[in-house]
């Protein structure tokens, strides 16, 4: 089947699943008040790939059918540039607010399958073959996939990884004639209500002896025993004028319980294989997926800059303080753009002819963005001030008497009408002050491990020789270098959670 349309995506969501919003087990996702806005948006993203087929679609290398470009296994810088364009178009649809549009998992699994040889050793030929077959299934059926890779926190002092005997973390219970039974929980499945399937793959390396926890698989969301507990909804069913973002882009996050779930043999990629679990994520995964996440981040920062400019313009705020603040947002956006371009420019063959961006600039970005994004929210709040709340609603503005008064008291500078002003400041409030804004800030802080862990990773990967030489040179311990050396090779591999807390 070629790339799906929005209608096909929504039809597939009708399959019953054990998904809870508040005290209600949801029977119809596409029409549920907490979910229909994001469902409709994701459907539009599926349609978008047909509207911009020249950017978003490509022929399947084996069948020739049109599939999403996000399933590409890049084999050159030109491939990465083509993928960049497709990822950017999807990011622009939600101005970067939806972090886990299906392209996130598409890129992840294309990267995994492209280096299936890494999944095969030791003693995992079958798991690797299952993975390759699954990636084709994912691409050819244009599946929407959620994922859970983090263990739940019960006692933070006991560490990040499940020690043998842990009865909370997801683990293998037994073999069956068709596969295995798993039990336990994982966090945090963003996109869960809108996903056809759920993926489990490695994150924190496991200690020796915890093979039962070393699992990777993908199964349909309706698999018996799978339970999704959605967080409180940030979605509002009020008008787009009133809530331009939270009426559309609450992608949801769910706690996932695997209550004796059978995983079929052909969907198992790692079956209690400790070595494979601890190694497969430490090579190309991070730089590969970060092309998607950082294009999204760049888009969101550029949107924030545009929004700040619009806010200032509407109230004719030309103060030096505000222009400094706007310049600060632009600086973050430009540095993000430059780092993404640098990573793509320095892309290389990670083995088997598969090209990913250089991980260095992306690792640096990933460490700093959990600070930049909250600061951007603060800047927009400072520029917006009380104006963020002096925003008549669509219903108020459609009352003739109130509309007339709003035209006098709530208009903007230079003939900006009250509805125009209200629309922009409502957008700003939805971006920095609404429930969705709070969730989105949490997302930016943590979606790919905390800033603290990413700084530790950045330090671990950082080249050390040049800095050391400069220190020794200024102290006169080594002779001054009279030539300019090429950039020191930078490590690109690693996983943020590899870095221990202590």
Ligand X SMILES: Cc1cc2nc3c(=O)[nH]c(=O)nc-3n(C[C@H](O)[C@H](O)[C@H](O)COP(=O)(O)OP(=O)(O)OC[C@H]3O[C@@H](n4cnc5c(N)ncnc54)[C@H](O)[C@@H]3O)c2cc1C
Contact footprint for ligand X (CB under 6 A): 100, 147-150, 187-190, 253, 439, 442-443, 446-447, 449-450, 452-453, 456, 501
Task: Between 101 and 148, name the residue whose CB sits nearer to ligand X.
Answer: 148
CA dist 25 and 369 (Å) reads: 36
Residue with smaller CB distance to ligand X, 423 or 497: 497
Minimal distance, residue 406 CB to ligand X, in Å: 36
Residue 470 phi, psi (nearest 5):
-65, -40
The CB-side HSE value for 46 (13 A sphere, CA atoms) comes to: 24
Give the nearer residue to ligand X in terms of CB position, either 209 or 500.
Answer: 500
Q: Give the whole-angstrom CA distance, residue 353 versus residue 337.
A: 26
Contacts of 108 (CB under 8 A, 6+ apart): 147, 199, 201, 285, 288, 289
> Which residues, other chains included, contact 88 with Cβ-Cβ below 8 Å and sequence gap of 6+?
295, 299
User: What is the smallest separation between the CB atom of 160 and ligand X, expressed in angstroms?
Assistant: 6
Q: How far is the CB of 203 from ligand X (least distance, A)?
A: 7
Look-up of token digits 């950045």: 458
* Residue 444: CB minimum distance to ligand X, A: 9
Residues, the chain: 502
Q: What is the closest distance, in whole angstroms, from the C-beta atom of residue 287 to ligand X in the complex? A: 18
Q: Show Cβ contacts of residue 71 under 8 Å, excluding neighbours closer than 6 positions.
A: 106, 109, 110, 135, 138, 139
- Tell me how far CA of residue 257 lies from CA of 21, 212, 226, in angstroms: 15, 17, 6
Q: How far is the CB of 285 from ligand X (least distance, A)?
A: 13
Say how many C-beta atoms besides its own lie within 10 A of residue 13's C-beta. 21
State how far the Cα of 86 lies from the Cα of 451, in Å rounded to an integer: 28
User: How does strand 179-190 pair with strand 66-68?
Assistant: unpaired
Shortest gap between Cβ of 320 and ligand X (angstroms)? 34
Tell me, what DSSP letter sits at residue 29?
G
* Residue 433 beta carbon to ligand X: minimum distance, rounded to whole angstroms: 17
Stretch (H or E) spanning 118: helix 116-120
> Position of tokens 């943590």?
446
Within 215-319, residue ranges assigned H as helices are 274-279, 285-314
Tell me whether residue 110 or residue 448 sits nearer to ligand X (CB atom). 448
Rounded to a whole number of angstroms, the minimum distance from the CB of residue 151 to ligand X is 8
C-alpha to C-alpha distance for 172 and 120, rounded to whole angstroms:
20
């Amino acid at each position: 089947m070629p790339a799906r349309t929005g209608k096909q995506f929504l039809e597939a969501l009708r399959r019953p699943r054990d998904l809870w919003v508040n005290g209600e087990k949801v029977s119809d996702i596409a029409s549920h008040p907490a979910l229909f806005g994001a469902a409709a948006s994701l459907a539009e993203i599926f349609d978008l790939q047909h509207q911009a087929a020249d950017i978003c679609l490509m022929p399947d290398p084996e069948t020739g059918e049109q599939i999403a470009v996000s399933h590409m296994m890049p084999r050159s810088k030109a491939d990465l540039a083509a993928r960049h364009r497709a990822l950017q178009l999807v990011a622009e649809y939600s101005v970067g607010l939806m972090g886990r549009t299906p392209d996130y998992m598409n890129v992840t699994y294309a990267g995994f399958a492209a280096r299936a040889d890494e999944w095969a050793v030791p003693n995992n030929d079958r798991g690797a073959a299952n993975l390759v077959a699954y990636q084709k299934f994912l691409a050819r059926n244009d599946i929407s996939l959620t994922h859970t890779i983090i263990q739940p926190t019960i006692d933070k002092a006991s560490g990040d990884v499940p020690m043998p005997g842990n009865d909370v973390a997801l683990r293998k219970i037994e073999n069956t004639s068709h596969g295995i039974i798993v039990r336990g929980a994982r966090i945090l499945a963003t996109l869960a209500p809108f996903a056809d399937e759920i993926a489990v793959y490695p994150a924190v390396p496991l200690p020796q002896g915890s093979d039962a926890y070393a699992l990777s698989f993908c199964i349909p969301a309706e698999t018996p025993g799978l339970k999704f507990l959605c967080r409180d909804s940030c979605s509002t069913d009020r008008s787009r004028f009133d809530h331009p973002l939270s009426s559309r882009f609450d992608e949801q996050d769910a706690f996932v319980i695997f209550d004796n779930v059978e995983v079929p043999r052909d969907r198992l990629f790692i079956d209690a294989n400790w070595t494979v679990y601890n190694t497969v994520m430490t090579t190309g995964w991070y730089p590969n997926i970060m092309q998607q996440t950082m294009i999204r981040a760049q888009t969101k920062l550029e949107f924030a800059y545009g929004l700040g400019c619009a806010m200032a313009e509407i109230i004719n705020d030309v103060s030096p303080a505000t222009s400094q603040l706007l310049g600060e947002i632009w600086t973050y956006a430009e540095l993000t753009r430059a780092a993404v371009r640098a990573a793509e420019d320095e892309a290389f063959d990670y083995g088997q002819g598969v090209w990913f961006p250089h991980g260095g600039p992306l690792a640096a970005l990933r460490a700093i963005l959990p600070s930049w994004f909250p600061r951007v929210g603060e800047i927009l709040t400072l520029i917006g001030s009380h104006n963020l709340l002096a925003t008549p609603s669509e219903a108020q503005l459609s009352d003739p008497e109130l509309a007339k008064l709003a035209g006098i008291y709530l208009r903007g500078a230079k003939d900006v009408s009250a509805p125009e002003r209200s629309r922009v400041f409502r957008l700003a409030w939805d971006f920095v002050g609404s429930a969705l804004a709070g969730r989105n800030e949490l997302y930016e802080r943590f979606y790919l491990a905390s800033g603290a862990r990413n700084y530790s990773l950045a330090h671990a990967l950082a080249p050390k020789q040049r800095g050391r030489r400069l220190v020794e040179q200024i102290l006169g311990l080594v002779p001054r270098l009279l030539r300019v050396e090429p950039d020191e090779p930078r490590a690109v591999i690693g996983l943020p959670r590899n870095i221990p807390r202590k």
